[in-house]
Amino acid sequence: MATTFGGATVLVVIASVMMGASVAYPGWNDNSGYAWPPRQDNHPTEVPPKKVIVGGSENWHFGFDYAAWAYKSGPFYVNDTLVFKYDPPSNNNTHPHSVYMFRSFWSYMRCDLKRATMVANVSDGAGDGFEFTLSQKWQFYFFACGESGGLHCSTGKMRFSVVSLPRPWKWHG
């Protein structure tokens, strides 16, 4: 290709780069959502909200990296629901958990629970878990466990943040 470097060769290269880019685009030409451009006879509907168990099969416990989990599990959209699952206090469970929400990034960074609000107490995560819906669009949410004076938040890595993006649309005929 390089030996006869002319206009045609350049066009072929550009065309293959463009095709590569379009093939690599997720959802291109199928019905899995995010398709662009939409077909003319299509009409869009919002992708329905999802329920996500915080930590997946790990649930909500000391020592799991929830910031990494949130990063891998995103993006999150407005009206998606986070489910916190943790055992209530009992003879077997003398170190229960809870869910707090910080008011700012800085209190989140410092695990400053004095600037946080409890949204679920030590019992609320039992059974099917505590459900928290991301009801505001473009909102940063800062969550942590509030137990042991902030130790679960800092050393225990029981903290993460999510931002609630506008809901995506799905195109289908």
Binding site for ligand NAG (CB under 6 A): 46, 78-79, 90, 92, 121-124, 167
Phi-psi region at 33: left, alpha or beta (left = phi > 0; alpha = psi -120 to 50): left
**Which of helix, strand or coil describes residue 124?**
coil
For residue 124, state whether it binds Cu ion (rule: CB under 5 A): no
Phi, psi for 80 (deg, rounded to 5): -65, 155
End-to-end CA distance of the chain: 42
CA distance 64 to 171: 37
Stretch that binds Cu ion, among 20-28, 32-40, 128-136, 146-154 (CB under 5 A): 146-154
One-letter amino acid of 45:
T
Considering only 80, 87, 124, 147, the residue that binds Cu ion (CB under 5 A) is 147
Shortest distance in whole angstroms from residue 91 CB to ligand NAG? 6
Residue 153 contact among ligand NAG, Cu ion, none, beta carbon within 5 to 8 Å by kind = none
Q: What residue 147 binds from ligand NAG, Cu ion, none (CB within 5 to 8 A, per partner kind)?
A: Cu ion
Distance CA 137, CA 133 (A): 11
CB of 98 to Cu ion, least distance (A): 7
CA–CA dist 6, 23 (Å, integer): 26
Q: Which does 97 bind (CB under 5 to 8 A by kind): ligand NAG, Cu ion, none?
A: Cu ion
Task: Please choose which of Cu ion, ligand NAG, none residue 80 contacts, taking the beta carbon within 5 to 8 angstroms, the exact cut-off set by kind.
Answer: none
Q: What DSSP designation does 113 have? A: G
Task: Reply yes or no: is the peptide bond before residue 75 cis, omega within 30 of 0.
Answer: yes
Q: Which one of ligand NAG, Cu ion, none is in contact with 152 (Cβ closer than 5 to 8 A by kind)?
A: Cu ion
- Least distance CB 53 / ligand NAG (angstroms): 19
Residues forming the site for Cu ion (CB under 5 A): 97, 145, 147, 152, 158
